[in-house]
């Protein structure tokens, strides 16, 4: 069942720190998370796990 996202939730993109491509999108609750998100995710162009940082979606 689909849920409606609240007012404090925004959609963000995760950008690879090595190849600079936006590989993933996710949601972030701005009330609970104050800073920018950094996650270790798999980059299919680098073919390894790299740090992905939060960026805005245009």
Per-residue confidence band for 37, with pLDDT thresholds at 50, 70 and 90: very high
| CATH T-level topology, domain 9-55 | Rubrerythrin, domain 2 (2.20.28)
pTM of the predicted structure, to 2 decimals: 0.81
- Ordered by start, the domain boundaries in the chain are 9-55
Q: Check residues 44 and 3 and name the one with the higher pLDDT.
A: 44
How crowded is residue 14: how many other Cβ atoms within 10 Å of its Cβ?
20
Dump pLDDT digits (tens) for 2-34: 667 677 899 999 999 999 999 999 999 999 999
């Amino acid at each position: 069942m689909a849920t409606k996202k609240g007012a404090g939730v925004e959609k963000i993109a995760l950008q690879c720190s090595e190849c600079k491509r936006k590989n993933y999108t996710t949601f972030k609750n701005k009330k609970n998370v104050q800073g920018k998100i950094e996650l270790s995710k798999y980059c299919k162009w680098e073919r390894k796990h790299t740090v992905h940082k939060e960026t805005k979606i245009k």
